């Protein structure tokens, strides 16, 4: 876990980090309790439009967190790619939300607020927690019966920016205004149905609302950092790795990584589709350079032991891809030294190799002719390591995973 971007482990001992988590968890529970979230009657009242405290508190937390996150990312203090965003499984999510909603109405709690209620020794909280645990066990024992549905309609790290194809600033301002409209509507319902006296409500909430709108407007004006901005921020640290050729790995090392059971190897071929179809390595994924940013959300969710190797015909395209991925926070990214041309010069059979014309590794064109588009069907696409006596200096070292690895809220 990192912060601005100092690691908590550099500030506290491991036991201290857990203490920080404990304090944050206690503070979160305390805020829920003083907001009334440990009271099942108050929670259930929102569904009867008598008391919308839950709606107002939760939406306030959401929009304050949203504005804070995107303001800090806008000024370069936070990397949004390192924040866990639950992957979207559309239909399972809809069904699960309906089930949870019914449970919320019947039981008066959600899983998180039931723990708050149990912590304050409320009997209904204990019963709800027992029900949650029973449901977890039942789900774990039965999920195999509907696995296909459970993992269906996968949409990845899908956000409102993706849905509406618009900028982050527009979404931030829109969500804030939507929330304020809901607050206004909720208060009207509380007055009409709940018979609440609006004179008792604090007037400072108007100033807080205006302040939040102003900050959201700042986010809109500043905008979010581009990939080029991200690279410029880290180039002082990362460019020497390129210049020192510590990230360009020998084809022999790539071949050894394919046989390493401790490593999950992901090969990204960033060439044009025509070159990829002519020849590519077995299991290499076609990831066009001009669209590589679209793949980042899925790449950063790969396991911590994943090594990414980008390749082009020489190194030009792969180097640009490396910069893009590293700037987006993708860890353990390497470049195939000399690209596909170098690979073929080593693993292509003698007649094939001698027919090629190798030149300087700078124009990123394929320097070998194929009688047809063979894809990965050529022997050089999947060479046997035992047939070659390759000498190289290993360069791959797994970095500490910085990308999001899990999260969510009960």
pLDDT band at 3 (very low <50, low <70, confident <90, very high): very low
Instruction: Centre a 10 Å sphere on the Cβ of residue 259 and count the other Cβ atoms it contains.
Output: 9
pLDDT at 253: 94
Tens digit of each residue's pLDDT (9 = 90 or more) over 288-320: 999 999 999 889 888 889 999 999 999 999 999
Q: What is the pLDDT of residues 216-226, one digit of tens each?
A: 999 999 999 99
86 Cβ contact list (under 8 Å, min separation 6): 407, 408
Per-residue model confidence (pLDDT) at position 322: 98
pTM over 0.85: no
Mean pLDDT highest for which of 11-20, 32-41, 336-345, 363-372?
336-345
The answer to whether 321 touches 289, Cβ cutoff 8 Å, is: yes
Express each pLDDT in 176-199 by its tens digit.
Answer: 999 999 999 999 999 999 888 888
> Which CA distances in Å does 227 have to 42, 79, 231, 320, 323?
46, 12, 6, 11, 9
The pLDDT confidence band at residue 6, using thresholds 50, 70 and 90, is: low
Question: Over pLDDT 90: what percentage of the chain?
Answer: 58
Strands 2-3 and 6-7: antiparallel
Instruction: Answer with the residue of higher pLDDT: 107 or 363.
Output: 107
Residues whose CB is less than 8 angstroms from the CB of residue 336 and which lie 6 or more positions away in sequence, other chains included = 248, 249, 251, 254, 309, 310, 311, 315, 318, 342, 343
**Of 187, 236, 235, whose CA–CA distance to 59 is shortest?**
187
Mean pLDDT of the chain: 88
pLDDT bucket at 355, cuts 50 / 70 / 90: very low
Q: What is the pLDDT of residue 367?
A: 87
For 119-141, what is each residue's pLDDT tens digit? 999 999 999 999 999 999 999 99
Q: What is the mean pLDDT of residues 62-76?
A: 94
pLDDT at 356 over 60: no
pLDDT at 260 over 50: yes
Q: What pLDDT does residue 357 have?
A: 47
Alpha-helical runs (H) found in 333-396? 339-347, 350-355
Ordered DSSP codes for 194-263? S---GGGS-THHHHHHHHHHHHHHHHHHH-PPPHHHHHHHHHHHHHHHHHTTSSEE-HHHHHHHHT-TT-
Domains of the chain plus CATH, in order, are 2-225 (no CATH), 228-387 (3.40.250.10)
Residue 400 has pLDDT above 70, yes or no: no
Q: How distant, in Å, are the alpha carbons of 249, 258, 299, 384, 404 from that of 389?
A: 16, 16, 33, 11, 39
**Nearest Cα to 318, choosing from 334, 294, 302, 300?**
334
Q: What is the pLDDT of residue 382?
A: 92
């Amino acid at each position: 876990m990192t912060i601005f971007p100092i690691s908590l482990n550099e500030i506290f001992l491991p036991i201290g980090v857990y203490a920080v988590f404990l304090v944050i968890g206690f503070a979160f529970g305390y805020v829920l309790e003083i907001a009334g979230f440990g009271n099942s009657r108050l929670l259930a009242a929102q569904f009867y439009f008598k008391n919308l405290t839950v709606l107002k508190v939760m939406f306030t937390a959401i929009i304050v967190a949203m504005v804070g996150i995107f303001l800090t990312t806008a000024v370069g203090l936070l990397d949004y790619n390192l924040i866990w965003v639950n992957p979207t499984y559309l239909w399972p999510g809809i069904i699960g939300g309906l089930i949870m909603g019914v449970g919320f109405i019947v039981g008066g709690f959600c899983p998180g607020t039931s723990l708050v209620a149990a912590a304050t020794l409320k009997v209904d909280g204990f019963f709800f927690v027992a029900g949650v645990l029973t449901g977890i066990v039942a789900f774990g024992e039965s999920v195999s019966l509907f696995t296909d549905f459970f993992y269906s309609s996968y949409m990845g790290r899908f956000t409102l920016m993706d849905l509406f194809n618009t900028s982050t600033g527009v979404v931030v301002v829109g969500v804030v205004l939507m929330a304020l409209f809901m607050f206004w509507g909720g208060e009207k319902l509380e007055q009409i149905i709940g018979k609440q006296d609006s004179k008792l409500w604090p007037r400072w909430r108007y100033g807080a609302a205006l302040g939040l709108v102003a900050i959201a407007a700042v986010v809109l004006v500043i905008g979010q950092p581009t990939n080029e901005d991200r690279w410029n921020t880290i180039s002082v640290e990362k460019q020497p790795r390129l210049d020192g050729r510590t990230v360009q790995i020998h084809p022999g090392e790539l071949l050894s990584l394919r046989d390493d059971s401790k490593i999950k190897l992901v090969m990204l071929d960033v060439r044009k589709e025509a070159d990829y179809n002519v020849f590519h390595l077995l299991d290499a994924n076609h990831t066009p350079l001009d669209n590589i940013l679209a793949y980042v959300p899925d790449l950063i969710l790969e396991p911590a032991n994943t090594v990414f190797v980008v390749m082009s015909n020489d190194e030009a395209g792969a180097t640009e891809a490396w910069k893009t991925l590293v700037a987006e926070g993708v860890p353990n990214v390497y470049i195939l030294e000399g690209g596909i041309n170098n690979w073929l010069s080593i693993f292509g059979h003698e007649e094939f190799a001698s027919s090629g014309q190798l030149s300087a590794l700078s124009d990123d064109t394929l320097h070998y002719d194929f009688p047809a588009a063979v894809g990965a069907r050529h022997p050089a696409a999947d060479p046997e390591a035992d047939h070659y006596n390759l000498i190289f200096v290993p360069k791959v070292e797994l970095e500490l995973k910085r990308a999001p690895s899990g999260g969510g809220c009960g």
